[in-house]
Amino acid sequence: MQSSDDDSGQVTNPATPKVTYTVTFDANGGSGTMNPQIFTYGEPQNLSPNEFTMEKKDFLGWATSAGGNIAYDDNSGYTIGTADVTLYAVWGKLVTADNATTVIGGLEGGTRKNPNVCTVKITSKELTDENILKEISKKIDSVFANPSYIHINLDLSAVEITEISESAFASAKLTGITLPNSLKSIEKNAFGATYHLKKIVIPDNVETIKTEAFIGSRLTEITLPASLSSIEEGAFFECDKLETVYYKGPQAQWEILKTNISTTDNDKLTGAKIICTDGIINGE
């Protein structure tokens, strides 16, 4: 139906109403409550951060069924379909330690079909020796060297470091990592050739991603903070799987950042789908 409400006499069409659906969160054996989240069909937004807890367990992500595998990470991007959805919390073993190397070495494995998913949280705030990160990385690799079927998520959120040092996690067999908010920079080759790491959230306050920081990784998704001011050459070289970039700033700010992204071997980043806070840029 057409209408002509303006003084010019021009015929205008009424706006198409937006269709919304609801995401409901299920603790799946955990404790706590979460409010349902409203999504508009076809418009991506981030899932609400998890608020559930389970004693001696770590929240790993969301599944689409009570016994399902992880389909979405915490606070990850989500686009709803044409129906209401329930997402179920997925829980895994939580290990805390001042220094993770001994704990990691003693973890028990699972099977190929049902691997043991563990989160190792470092509780010591001071890791002043950059080689400690490399030591942890090597210990993780030694676990993966055996057919023990352990998936390790490393949680550094309590560690007060300002950089991920050069080659700290190069070729590490991490399946997930949580970085601390104290972080300012990610150094050269810090996550190079991390084949098991599919998604990563770069925390607020990070300003620089250095040369070849993620070279050859198999990331499919990355979240970048609005604080970021430069990305050096080859930081995302040969990141052929990278499809989606969540940028925590508006499109105009992304365009400013792009002037400080080296044009040398970063086309996999700039050519991805860039989801900003106010809309989507479909890469270059």
pLDDT, mean of residues 75-81: 87
Q: What's residue 282's pLDDT? A: 80
Tokens 């004693």 belong to which residue? 55
- Gap between the Cα atoms of 50 and 45, Å rounded: 15
Residue 75's nearest CA partner among 85, 65, 60 is 60
pLDDT at 4 over 50: no
Q: What is the pLDDT of residues 85-144, one digit of tens each?
A: 999 999 988 877 776 666 776 777 777 777 777 888 887 766 655 567 777 887 777 776
Residues 273 and 196: their CA atoms lie apart, in Å, by 22
The pLDDT value given to residue 2 = 47
What phi and psi, each to the nearest 5 degrees, are found at residue 252?
A: -60, -40
From CA 25, how far away is CA 33, in angstroms rounded? 8
pLDDT at 14 over 70: no
Task: Say which residue, 222 or 136, is predicted with more confidence.
Answer: 222
Which pLDDT belongs to residue 256? Answer: 96
CA distance 232 to 190: 13
Confidence of residue 219 (pLDDT cuts 50, 70, 90): very high
Task: Pick the more confident residue, 268 or 133.
Answer: 268
The domain locations on the chain are 1-90
- Note the pLDDT tens digit of each residue in 30-60: 999 999 999 999 888 889 999 999 988 888 8
Tell whether the model's pLDDT for residue 190 goes beyond 50.
yes
Class of residue 196 by CB neighbours under 10 A (exposed 0-12, middle 13-18, buried 19+):
middle
* Angstrom distance (rounded) from CA 237 to CA 198: 15
Distance (Å, rounded) from C-alpha 101 to C-alpha 120?
10
For residue 131, the model assigns a pLDDT of 64
* Confidence band of 76 (pLDDT split at 50, 70, 90): confident
The type of residue at 4 is S
In this prediction, residues 2-11 reach a mean pLDDT of 52
Among the CATH numbers 2.40.10.220, 1.10.3210.10, 2.60.40.4270, 3.40.30.10, which is that of 1-90?
A: 2.60.40.4270
pLDDT of residue 58: 84
DSSP string, the chain: --B--STT---BPPPPPPPEEEEEEE-TT-B-----EEEETT--EEPPPP--B-TTEEEEEEESSTTPPP-B-TT-EE---SS-EEEEEEEEEEEEESSHHHHHHT-----SSS-EEEEEEE--S----THHHHHHHHHHHHHHHTT--EEEEEE-TT---SEE-TTTTTT---SEEE--TT--EE-TTTTTT-TT--EEEPPTT--EE-TTTTTT---SEEEE-TT--EE-TTTTTT-TT--EEEESS-HHHHHHHHTTB-SSS-HHHHTSEEEETTEEE---
Question: For position 188, what pLDDT does the model report?
Answer: 96
pLDDT at 268: 94
Q: What pLDDT score was predicted for residue 122?
A: 82
Average pLDDT, the chain: 86
Tens of pLDDT, residues 135-178: 788 777 777 666 567 778 888 988 888 999 999 999 888 889 99
CB contact set of 15 (below 8 Å; sequence gap of 6+): none
